[in-house]
Chain A
């Protein structure tokens, strides 16, 4: 995930290049380092560098990395001819390379030739059973074909070996949520929280999943995680605030007769409601009426 400073830097560079201020190469390097996905810009500026033979030779050995980057961006924009040309150049320079083989597999994927892409990837992965990118491409392919269960299977196999890859856990969590397999999604989010405990996004998602699962214990846990999200984001996360209100009222409904919940944080709900109202007044005054209705209905 990209940090805020890095994102602003990237955007600044992008603006600079857009307005003709030069610095295209730095922009491309930064985009590559941060692994962000800006295919149109990368394609435009990358091609402008590559087509100009003077600039191209000025790059030296970085030229080939640029070819790879432009090829991937072209595939993203569906400019398959550009991609094919770039890959041809790379193949001529590195005839035995697995990296180029991967790119060719991706080109087959982009064309929609799933069977051949699968064949290419399996032959590549036989030589190189530990190549992470090939595994991930397989998952992506299964997902693109709509075969979600196969995607889950591949992803699980990948995670059995590379269990410290938190991006993969995140992908798996999202897939499970889309399939409404909330228990498994909760497990994935726990893994994410373990590896990066200070990222509020994961706490929030975990709380959402727990709230959806329902049941008194889950609701209480969800409330706690909404609270931790609020703490980590300094109270600015609207979703967490609403989550608190919803959770408290749901807990109140579920444990109607039993009164043991009051000890922990009785004010949290009212504070959250107040913070929400203040926020809405500042940012979306027209929707404020809607909010007050919702809050009123929750205060049962």
Chain B
């Protein structure tokens, strides 16, 4: 079990390198296609306004100690007033945001387009790898692994005695899939469409953003205690002037 399998250099030449090259090329192709297909999304005025309200509320929270107490209180009421405060979102409306997102035809199309551009190349490449490069050991992982990884990494290899460190080309494909992200950001600059993993994470935390952050800001604002920092400034000014004059 501890013997070393000698892997043919032909595997390296004809499997590992071509696979990486193909994935890089497909990534570049996808980047340009997504650039072409990107439609200009008209920002919804309501969403823009909410975004700005959030920024303003955040500023209020951050710098609350710089303005006198009365203006602070009047602003706080303005924002979190029960009836017509800016940050107040009635309960019923809050739920609708996500449902609305899926029923809105434009947005649904956009999401579908983005998903497609990600899924199709992945599926095709995966099928290609499986078809051509299965049934043999492609590489050896430099660190030892437990047996549980066998099913994942050694898919085409039906020998159970082979050390788990010897993996099939499918695992090389996955390695490239996640690893080439860094390379792409070098070649294509930031903001490239090949950032699948990031997009997958984004998809799960979608929608619902506006109303949730509004109520979060409202809570934050309610908590803030106003401690007017200006009286301290008088003393500091005194100190500054003393140093200046002496």
Q: Which residues of A contact B (CB under 8 A)?
A: 129-130, 160-165, 187, 190-191, 193-195, 197, 221, 223-228, 230-231, 234-235, 244, 264-265, 267-268, 271-272, 274-275, 278
Listed from nearest, the 5 A-B pairs whose CB atoms lie closest are A227-B237, A164-B55, A228-B233, A271-B241, A224-B230
- Are the C-beta atoms of A227 and B59 separated by less than 8 Å? no
Interface residues of B in 160-182 (CB under 8 A from A): none
Q: List 16 A-B contacts (CB under 8 A).
A: A161-B49, A162-B49, A187-B71, A194-B56, A194-B60, A194-B66, A224-B230, A224-B233, A227-B233, A230-B241, A234-B240, A234-B244, A264-B234, A268-B234, A268-B237, A268-B241
The chain B residue sitting closest to A224, CB to CB, is: B230
- Are the C-beta atoms of A265 and B238 separated by less than 8 Å? yes
Q: Could you tell me the distance in whole angstroms from the C-beta of A161 to the nearest C-beta in chain B?
A: 5
Residues of B within 8 A of A226 (CB): 237
- Are the C-beta atoms of A228 and B237 separated by less than 8 Å? yes
18 extra interface residue pairs, beta carbon distance < 8 Å, beyond A162-B49, A268-B238: A129-B45, A130-B48, A161-B45, A165-B52, A187-B71, A191-B56, A197-B62, A224-B233, A225-B230, A226-B237, A227-B230, A228-B230, A231-B236, A235-B237, A235-B244, A275-B244, A275-B245, A278-B244
The chain B residue sitting closest to A159, CB to CB, is: B52
- Are the C-beta atoms of A272 and B241 separated by less than 8 Å? yes
Residues of B within 8 A of A265 (CB): 234-235, 237-238
The chain A residue sitting closest to B68, CB to CB, is: A221
Bound together, the chains give a CA A160 to CA B56 distance in angstroms of 11
- Are the C-beta atoms of B59 and A195 separated by less than 8 Å? yes
Q: Which residues of B contact A (CB under 8 A)?
A: 42-43, 45, 48-49, 52-53, 55-56, 59-60, 62-64, 66-68, 71, 230-231, 233-238, 240-245
Main secondary structure of the interface of B (DSSP, over half): helix
Q: Could you tell me the distance in whole angstroms from the C-beta of B184 to the nearest C-beta in chain A?
A: 23
Bound together, the chains give a CA A224 to CA B69 distance in angstroms of 13
Residues of A within 8 A of B43 (CB): 130
Q: Could you tell me the distance in whole angstroms from the C-beta of A129 to the nearest C-beta in chain B?
A: 6
Bound together, the chains give a CA A222 to CA B183 distance in angstroms of 57
Residues of B within 8 A of A230 (CB): 237, 240-241
Q: Could you tell me the distance in whole angstroms from the C-beta of A125 to the nearest C-beta in chain B?
A: 12
Bound together, the chains give a CA A195 to CA B75 distance in angstroms of 14
- Are the C-beta atoms of B240 and A190 separated by less than 8 Å? no
- Are the C-beta atoms of B67 and A194 separated by less than 8 Å? yes
Question: Which listed residue, A193, A224, A271, touches B231 by the CB 8 Å rule?
Answer: A224
Given contacts A162-B52, A164-B52, A194-B59, contact A221 B230 (CB under 8 A): yes
Bound together, the chains give a CA A234 to CA B240 distance in angstroms of 6
Q: Could you tell me the distance in whole angstroms from the C-beta of B245 to the nearest C-beta in chain A?
A: 5
Bound together, the chains give a CA A129 to CA B231 distance in angstroms of 44
The chain B residue sitting closest to A160, CB to CB, is: B49
Residues of A within 8 A of B233 (CB): 224, 227-228, 231
The chain B residue sitting closest to A129, CB to CB, is: B45
Residues of A within 8 A of B234 (CB): 223-224, 227, 264-265, 268
Bound together, the chains give a CA A193 to CA B75 distance in angstroms of 14
Q: Could you tell me the distance in whole angstroms from the C-beta of A23 to the nearest C-beta in chain B?
A: 26
- Are the C-beta atoms of A161 and B48 separated by less than 8 Å? yes
Residues of B within 8 A of A264 (CB): 231, 234
Residues of B within 8 A of A224 (CB): 230-231, 233-234
Q: Could you tell me the distance in whole angstroms from the C-beta of A144 to the nearest C-beta in chain B?
A: 27
Bound together, the chains give a CA A223 to CA B63 distance in angstroms of 19
Given contacts A221-B230, A224-B231, A268-B234, contact A231 B240 (CB under 8 A): yes
- Are the C-beta atoms of B71 and A190 separated by less than 8 Å? yes
Residues of B within 8 A of A228 (CB): 230, 233, 237
Q: Could you tell me the distance in whole angstroms from the C-beta of A64 to the nearest C-beta in chain B?
A: 18
